[in-house]
Structure 1
C-alpha cells in the first residue's frame, strides 16, 4: 500500500515532527536533510520542496516545538481557577520533570544560537513569550491579593532562569537528583518569589 497523500500543512507538520526528533537524537549541527527524509521514508527532494535549506528546516522545527509548548502553557494559564493554582501548574509542567518538549532540544537551540544570529533572534522571541505569559499571571495574582510580588517581570525571569539551569544539569547528568527533590525545589523557588512558605503554596494551589 502506498503512502497516504497529505495536504501541504499536514506534510509540513509531519516533516517538522520528524525534524524535532532527529535534532533531539543527533544534535542541530549534525542532523541532515537526509536524516529527516529517511525517518519518514521520503526523498530529500521532498523535504527541500517544503524547506529550502537545512537552516530553514532547523529554525522551523524549533519554532514548531516551541509553539506547541506555548499553546499548552496558555491553556494552563487560561483555566478558570486561581492565579496561584494556574501558576504552580505551569511552573511544574515547565520544570525538567514535567511534560514540556524535551529539554535536549532547547539546549541544542541555545548552543546553536551562540553562532547563528537568526536562530538567536528566534530563540529570544520565543523565550520572551514564555516570560510574558508568566509575568501576566503573576501580576494578576498579586493584584487579586493571592500573594505578594512587587515585580512580576523580575520574578518570571528568576523562575525561568532557575528552571532552565536545573534542566541543563538534569539533562547533562541524568539521575543525579530525584523527581521528588526537583519538584520540591521548584515549589520552594515559586514560594520565595510569591512571598509564601511552601506549605501555604502547596495547600492553596492544590
Structure 2
C-alpha cells in the first residue's frame, strides 16, 4: 500500500500527537527524537525539520496538549445548561480517570518547567486560562442568583489548587486516594465555594 502523503500541518499535528504519547510513556528526560520518529515510521531528520531541537518539540507538544485541554473545558463550560451544572461537569472532568495519562503528562511538564522556561510559559498560560474560564462561569451564576459567591476569582483559584493537589496525590502515589473519594472532596469544595447544599450537585441542575 502506498504511503499517504501528509501536508505540512497534518504532519506537524501527527508529530505532536506522537510526542505527547511518548512523553506520557517515557517522561521528558528520557524522550528521544528517535522515539517520536519511530512511532510514525519517519526519519529523525523529518522531526528535526519541523522542530529543530528536542526542547522545541517538547514545548510544542505541551502547547498542543494544552490546546486540547482548553478546547474540552470550553465545550463543557459552553453547554446550554445551568452554571452549576457546567461547573460541576468541569470539576469532574478535571479529576483523573483510569491510569490518569493526561495528569502524568502535566506532572512531567511541571517538573520539566523548572529547567525549561518555554514549558513554564505553556503551563502558566494553561493555568491562567483555566482559572479565567471557571471565574467567568462562577461570576455568571452568582450574577443571576443561581448561587452566591462574592469572590469568583478567589473561588476558582482555591478549586484548581485543591484539584491539582488531589490529582498529583492520586497519580503519583497509586492506591493512596480513590477517584470516588477525590470526587467526593471536590464536590464538597465546589458546594462550599458556591454556598449551595451538597445534595444540589446531584439534582437535575447539578
TM-score (ref. length: structure 2) = 0.95
Q: Do 2:100 and 2:171's aligned partners in 1 also have CA atoms closer than 8 Å?
A: no
User: What is the alpha-carbon distance in structure 1 between the residues aligned to residue 64 and residue 88 of structure 2?
Assistant: 25
Q: 1:25 to 1:101 in 2, by over 3 A?
A: closer
Q: Deviations over 1:176-204 (max 9, x none)?
A: 33222221111111111111121123225
Count of residue correspondences? 206
- 2:85 corresponding residue in structure 1: 85
Secondary structure at 1:102's aligned position in 2? helix
- 2:168 corresponding residue in structure 1: 168
- 2:190 corresponding residue in structure 1: 190
Q: Do 2:113 and 2:120's aligned partners in 1 also have CA atoms closer than 8 Å?
A: yes
Q: Give the gaps of 5 or more residues in structure 1.
A: none
1:109 aligns with 2:132: no
Q: Do 2:73 and 2:90's aligned partners in 1 also have CA atoms closer than 8 Å?
A: yes
Q: 1:100 to 1:157 in 2, by over 3 A?
A: farther
CA RMSD of aligned residues (A): 1.7
User: What is the alpha-carbon distance in structure 1 between the residues aligned to residue 205 and residue 103 of structure 2?
Assistant: 26
User: What is the alpha-carbon distance in structure 2 between the residues aligned to residue 35 and residue 2 of structure 1?
Assistant: 23
- 2:51 corresponding residue in structure 1: 51
Q: Which runs of 4+ in 1 moved over 6 A?
A: 98-101
Q: Give the gaps of 5 or more residues in structure 2.
A: none
User: What is the alpha-carbon distance in structure 1 between the residues aligned to residue 77 and residue 100 of structure 2?
Assistant: 14
Q: Deviations over 1:158-184 (max 9, x none)?
A: 111111111111111123332222211
1:135 aligns with 2:130: no
Q: 1:8 to 1:64 in 2, by over 3 A?
A: same
User: What is the alpha-carbon distance in structure 2 between the residues aligned to residue 98 and residue 39 of structure 1?
Assistant: 23
Q: Do 1:22 and 1:36's aligned partners in 2 also have CA atoms closer than 8 Å?
A: yes
Q: 1:98 to 1:137 in 2, by over 3 A?
A: farther
User: What is the alpha-carbon distance in structure 2 between the residues aligned to residue 86 and residue 50 of structure 1?
Assistant: 38
